[in-house]
Amino acid sequence: LVQSHSILRFLSRKHGGFDRITDEAKASIEILADATEDLRKRLMGIKYDSTKDAKQKADAFLQFCTSTAAEWLTKFEEYLQPSEAFSYADFLLFDLWDTHKELCPKEAFAELQKGFPKICALHDAIASDASVSTYLESRRAQ
């Protein structure tokens, strides 16, 4: 298998992530997953833009995090629904939130955190999972 979304969908199906949910719920998961990729592409476009110097990138990240990201994250916040288990889209949103934390100016990210309590709660819940926290610690140690 190639392509991260295909791999995640495969693993989700293999491990029951699509069992006992409606077709509408499946569609919602896929919409959220694909939308995270759309926002990630915009963010990574700034990071890897070779035509901008460090100051221009810093300005672009600030603009992105206070405008574009806030608009998209508002939609994600509205889309999140309580669930018994994490979907693969939840893991993609977790990773996207981490990427924002890494690339957005600290003050801008702090403002995002205030505005998106469901995303923060989802992130904290996933990060506190034993397997995930072990992985995150190993990644930080590198």
Residue with tokens 């915009």: 42
Provide the token pair at 97: 């939130």
pTM reported for the whole predicted model: 0.88
Q: Give residue 97's pLDDT.
A: 96
Residue-wise pLDDT tens digits, 51-72:
999 999 999 999 999 999 999 9
Q: Give residue 127's pLDDT.
A: 93
One digit per residue, the tens of pLDDT, for the chain of length 142 reads: 678 888 888 888 888 888 888 899 889 889 999 999 999 999 999 999 999 999 999 999 999 999 999 999 999 999 888 777 888 999 999 999 999 999 999 999 999 999 999 999 999 999 999 988 898 888 877 7
Q: Give residue 119's pLDDT.
A: 96
Length of the chain: 142
Q: Give residue 25's pLDDT.
A: 87
Q: Give residue 82's pLDDT.
A: 77
Provide the token pair at 18: 């699509």
- Give the Cα separation of 128 and 41 in Å (integer): 27
